[in-house]
Amino acid sequence: MHEIRIGEDLRDRNREIAAENREHLRAHGIVALNLMSAPGAGKTSLLVRAIPLLSKRHAVGVIEGDIQTTTDAERVGAIGVPVYQIQTGGVCHLDAAMVHSALHRLDLESIDLLLIENVGNLVCPAEFDLGEDARVMLLSVSEGDDKPKKYPLMFHEAQLLVLNKIDLLPHVTFDLEKARRESREIQPRLDIIELSCATGEGLDRFADWIDRFVERARSR
């Protein structure tokens, strides 16, 4: 009997295309970051607040992933950086083929830092390599501090965890120390930054982390 392993075949093909994306980006001297979170955690708000800081030191480009609408791409594009919108049409994550198509629609000669905003979902995006150099996960304090144990793969795959919306801490039940501890139990090398897109607190630390990562990535 012949066994058909559709899921594994798709993941294998995704890994192949992701490797092509990674080669293509490196050939153009571009460092790419994949931003992942649940819906409403603040990925787009973080981009809108952080890109003006990052643009002082980098030529930033953005790929926006959403199931429907171009709302987030319009918000980011209003800053004046190149942005390409991917509408997945119901798929709950970006995959390498989608990003591959987007790369051929951006002027890569004018970009050295590519920020990819993945579809809001705490499960599927972590399973698909896009060809990025690092993964940044956002967790807003309004989501609850139980998420590391509920969705461990997302935390395991991230290099940076952004604890967002800390301005809401007086109004929600969220244990910062518990979130940090349980996240690092899953990924001991995880960097963690607390910030608020509303007040701007911590945005400089986020931009500095990206600067340091870009420098290390290019030295490799």
| pLDDT tens track, the chain, 220 positions | 444 454 567 889 999 999 999 999 999 999 999 999 999 999 999 999 999 999 999 999 999 999 999 999 999 999 999 999 999 988 999 999 999 999 999 999 999 999 999 999 999 999 999 999 999 999 999 999 999 999 999 999 999 999 999 999 999 999 999 999 999 999 999 999 999 999 999 999 999 999 999 999 988 7
Sign of CA dihedral 158, 104, 94, 162: positive
pLDDT at 11: 87
Distance CA 148, CA 62 (A): 27
Quick one: which H or E segment has residue 64?
Answer: strand 60-66
Could you tell me the residue ranges of all domains in the chain? 6-219
What are the helix and strand counts (H, E) for the chain? 8, 7
CATH number of 6-219: 3.40.50.300
pLDDT at 1: 42
pLDDT at 4: 43
55-75 in b/e form (b: 16+ CB < 10 A) is eeebbbbbbbbbbeeeebbee
Q: Which residues is 62 bridged to in the sheet?
A: 83, 115
